[in-house]
Amino acid sequence: MALEYRLTLAGQIPLADLAARAFPDPVERPTPYGAILTRDLYDRFGFGVSILGERHDIVEAEADAGLWGWDLDASVDLTFRMGKDPDRRELGVRSMLEAVGRVLESGSEDAALTLNGDLLLLTRMDGAVSKHNQATWWNHYPFTPSIIAG
Report if residue 95 sits inside a domain.
yes
Report if residue 103 sits inside a domain.
yes
Report if residue 69 sits inside a domain.
yes
pLDDT tens digits, 32-65: 998 999 999 999 999 999 999 988 999 999 999 9
Report if residue 56 sits inside a domain.
yes
**CATH number of the domain that 12 lies in?**
3.30.310
* Exposure string over 42-71, b if 16+ CB within 10 A, otherwise e: beebbbbbbbbbeeebebebbbeeeebebe
Report if residue 148 sits inside a domain.
no
pLDDT tens digits, 3-12: 999 999 999 9
Report if residue 149 sits inside a domain.
no
Report if residue 150 sits inside a domain.
no
Domain that residue 96 falls in: 3-142
User: In the predicted model, what is the mean pLDDT of residues 78-104?
Assistant: 94
Reply yes or no on whether the pLDDT at 150 is more than 90: no
How many domains, in total, are found in the chain?
Answer: 1
CA nearest neighbour of 117 among 149, 65, 70, 53 = 70
What does the pLDDT read at residue 41?
97
